[in-house]
């Protein structure tokens, strides 16, 4: 496989080249944006900052921008139909939209399975359906921070309406076997809802291969602006009872996209997908004749391989520091089971103190429960204190890991 073009990648991100010296290891909370995304958003606001659906050039250009964005995001997810993609404010609002709709159609299937591994957005939204008569079943995390499919099998039955889980933990970086979840859920007639916010920066998403029924993402985690999008199987979306004005067609994506969303952010998201698709191209090389989907898969393979080296280096470095406890999959030889998002604590040092001291050294990390308080409790961590999270993406470097580890050692010496 080709060597990862890290220097070329970093030149494309203005935030990495403004001389601040900040090491961005808080990417799970939001990634930096490459120049083409800024350009696409700026161009949209300058040239076509109007409402869509009008009979004049600028409005028709907005329609074209949105149509193109559906195609690019569909390629990112390998959706069968661009109209299976809906744009909106954020992933959480889409989870709630789907949960409200499913809450109206529980019938004899009232059991919803949620996981301890998940972000609270993909838990609380389903717990709220207990007011509609839903029964919640918990898919518990094992000691190593993983979700085991055999444990899921014990929960599934003819009363199961839905399994809601993540594709990758935003706290631990653990990857979930989505295809395995869908296969087992469908065998009993249940549907599958995937919180895919954390996985797309790190690997190729394929909703057709995974076999899930609904999936949500956040653009600002995938090198785009603040926005979210929902994918659903067309038949599943058509069956959802949603709020809409009478003049809105009862078909996706119209029935999902309530009100006006931020068009310039959709333009930016489309540019972010194009950026990812171009990573595998060598400088001076003509555009690959492959489809956008094929180029995306190639780029994500490069990212996955490069990030595996980052995970190994970070895990090895943390293991070498006495008193550091890494949660979840912490074996450097098992990085195929995770993405480079690592939660840890260090002895009796409060996570907030450690994160603040790293911040003073221009190392940006996060502390707390990572919006996964139930997971923290399961791991024996106080949600009030939480842990420290270092979350890396493909524009991070081994040199930055060295700076991070040196900063930790320096804190120990103070």
Q: What is the pLDDT of residues 243-279, one digit of tens each?
A: 888 888 889 999 999 889 999 999 999 999 999 999 9
Question: 39-274: which CATH architecture?
Answer: 3-Layer(aba) Sandwich (3.40)
- Three-state SS for the chain is CCCCCHHHHHHCCHHHCCCCCCEECEHHHCCCCCHHHHHHHHHHHHHCCCCCCCCCHHHHHHHHHHHHHHHHHHHHHCCCCHHHEEEECCHHHHHHHHHHHHHCCCCCCCEEEEECCCCCHHHHHHHHHHHHCCEEEEECCCCCCCCCHHHHHCCCCCCEEEEEEECECCCCCEECCHHHHHHHHHHCCCEEEEECCCCCCCCCCCHHHHCCCEEEEEHHHCCCCCCEEEEECHHHHHHCCCCCCCCCCCCCCCCCCCCCCCHHHHHHHHHHHHHHHCCCCCCCCCCCCCCHHHHHHHHHHHHHHHHHHHHHHHHHHHHCCCCEEECCCCCHHHHHHECCEEEEEECCECHHHHHHHHHHCCEECEEECCCCHHHHHHCCCCCCCCEEEEECCCCCCHHHHHHHHHHHHHHHHC
Per-residue confidence (pLDDT) for residue 181, from 0 to 100: 98
Q: How confident is the model at residue 107 (pLDDT cuts 50, 70, 90)?
A: confident
Report the percentage of the chain scoring pLDDT > 70: 97
Q: Are 210 and 194 spatial neighbours (Cβ–Cβ below 8 Å)?
A: yes
Q: Please check whether residue 313 is in contact with residue 396, taking contact to mean a CB–CB distance below 8 angstroms.
A: no
Give the closest residue to 141 by CA, choosing from 111, 163, 99, 174.
174
* Rounded mean pLDDT, 45-62: 96
| Residue 400 pLDDT greater than 90, yes or no | yes
Q: What is the largest CA-CA distance in the chain?
A: 68
Position 284 scores a pLDDT of 56
Burial of residue 220, with CB atoms counted within 10 A of its CB: 0-12 exposed, 13-18 middle, 19 or more buried: buried
pLDDT for position 278: 96
> pLDDT tens for residues 78-93?
999 999 999 999 999 9
pTM of the full structure: 0.96
Beta carbons within 8 Å of 93's beta carbon, 6+ residues apart: 228
At the topology level of CATH, where does 6-33+292-413 sit?
3.90.1150
Q: Say what the pLDDT of residue 373 is.
A: 97
Q: How far apart are CA 389 and CA 376, in angstroms?
A: 12
pLDDT for 243: 84
pLDDT band, very low/low/confident/very high, at 309 (cuts 50, 70, 90)? very high
Distance CA 177, CA 288 (A): 31
Query: For residue range 139-197, what is the model confidence (pLDDT) as tens digits?
Result: 999 999 999 999 999 999 999 999 999 999 999 999 999 999 999 999 999 999 999 99
Q: CA–CA separation, 254 vs 331, rounded Å?
A: 46
pLDDT, tens digit, for every residue of 109-128?
A: 999 999 999 999 999 999 99
* Phi–psi pair at 288, nearest 5 degrees: -65, 140
Work out the mean pLDDT of the chain and round it to a whole number: 95
Domain ranges of the chain: 6-33+292-413, 39-274
């Amino acid at each position: 496989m080709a060597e990862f073009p890290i220097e070329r990648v970093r030149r494309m991100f203005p935030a990495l080249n403004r001389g601040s010296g900040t090491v961005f290891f808080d990417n799970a909370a939001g990634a930096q944006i490459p120049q083409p995304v800024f350009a696409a958003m700026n161009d949209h606001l300058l040239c076509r900052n109007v409402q869509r659906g009008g009979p004049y050039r600028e409005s028709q250009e907005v329609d074209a921008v949105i149509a193109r964005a559906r195609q690019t995001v569909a390629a990112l997810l390998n959706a069968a139909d661009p109209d299976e993609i809906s744009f909106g404010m954020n992933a959480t609002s889409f989870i709630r939209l789907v949960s409200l709709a499913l809450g109206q159609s529980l019938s004899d299937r009232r059991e919803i399975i949620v996981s301890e591994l998940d972000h609270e957005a993909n838990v609380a939204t389903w717990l709220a359906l207990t007011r509609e008569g839903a029964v919640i079943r918990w898919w518990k995390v094992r000691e190593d921070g993983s979700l085991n499919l055999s444990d899921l099998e014990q929960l599934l039955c003819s009363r199961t309406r839905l399994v809601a889980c993540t594709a990758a933990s935003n706290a631990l970086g653990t990857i979930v076997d989505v295809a395995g979840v869908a296969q087992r859920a469908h065998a009993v007639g249940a549907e599958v809802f995937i919180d895919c916010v954390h996985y797309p920066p790190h690997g190729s998403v394929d909703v057709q291969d995974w076999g899930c029924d609904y999936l949500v993402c956040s653009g600002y985690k995938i090198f785009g602006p603040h926005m979210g999008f929902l994918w659903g199987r067309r038949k599943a979306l058509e069956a959802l009872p949603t709020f809409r004005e009478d003049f809105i067609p009862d078909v996706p994506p119209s029935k999902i996209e309530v009100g006006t969303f931020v068009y310039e952010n959709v333009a930016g998201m489309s540019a972010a997908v194009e950026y990812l698709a171009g990573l595998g191209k060598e400088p001076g090389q003509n555009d690959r004749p492959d489809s956008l989907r094929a180029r995306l898969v190639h780029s994500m393979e490069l990212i996955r391989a490069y990030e595996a080296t980052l995970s190994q280096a970070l895990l090895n470095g943390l293991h070498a520091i006495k008193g550091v406890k890494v949660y979840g999959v912490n074996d450097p030889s098992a990085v195929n089971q995770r993405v480079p998002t690592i939660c840890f604590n260090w002895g009796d040092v409060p996570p907030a103190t450690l994160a603040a001291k790293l911040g003073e050294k221009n190392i940006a990390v996060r502390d707390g429960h990572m919006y996964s308080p139930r997971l923290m409790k399961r791991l024996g961590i106080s949600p009030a204190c939480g842990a420290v999270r270092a979350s890396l993406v493909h524009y991070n470097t081994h040199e930055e890991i060295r700076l991070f580890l040196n900063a930790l050692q320096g804190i120990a010496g103070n």
